[in-house]
Amino acid sequence: MISHSQVTDLQPEALAFLNKIPLFKGLDQAALVDIACRMQYRTFGLGMTLFHQDMPGMMLYMLAEGHVRLYSIGQSGQEFTYHIYGPMEIFGELSILDDGYHSTTCIVMNPIKSWLLSKD
């Protein structure tokens, strides 16, 4: 009986996905395999919040399907949309790289399929 999830089962799909993302172009195959083994596949439904403004960055998000909106709320209460991300785009990298906090809130606009890579 297996008592843990088998991350390696998704490795071929994760590796194929990484090969399509410009950020990872130029990495050798061994590095790509190492990253693919650390990725998690997740789906999120309409309206879900992936992270809030001022939360610490913990995850790199890579969209396979769907769209998310990054926005903030101004002092007057009005929402300001910074960017809408779609398939094959990544986000959340800046707060991971600079050990900082998210400058925006991220909400799912339609159901998404995504690959996640933990800061760890």
Residue 114 in any domain: the answer is: yes
Q: For residue 61, give both structure tokens.
A: 């998000």
Q: In angstroms, what is the C-alpha Rg of the chain? A: 15
Residue 44 in any domain: the answer is: yes
Whether 53 and 102 have beta carbons less than 8 Å apart is answered as: yes
| Per-residue model confidence as pLDDT tens digits over 78-117 | 999 999 999 999 998 877 777 788 889 999 999 999 999 9
Residue 23 in any domain: the answer is: yes
Residue 2 in any domain: the answer is: no
Task: Choose the weakest-confidence range: 41-45, 54-58, 65-69, 110-114.
Answer: 54-58
Residue 111 in any domain: the answer is: yes
Beta bridge partners of 81: 71
What CATH number is attached to the domain comprising 79? 2.60.120.10
Q: What percent of the chain has pLDDT over 70?
A: 92
Number of domains in the chain: 1
pLDDT at 12 over 80: yes
The pLDDT of residue 52: 94
Domain encompassing residue 57: 7-118
Q: How far apart are the first and last CA of the chain?
A: 28
Whether 64 and 115 have beta carbons less than 8 Å apart is answered as: yes
Residue 1 in any domain: the answer is: no
Helical residues (DSSP H) of the chain, grouped into ranges: 11-18, 29-38, 93-97
CA atoms within 13 A on the CB side of 28: 1
| Per-residue model confidence as pLDDT tens digits over 21-53 | 998 998 998 999 999 999 999 999 999 999 999
Residue 76 in any domain: the answer is: yes
The pLDDT of residue 97: 76
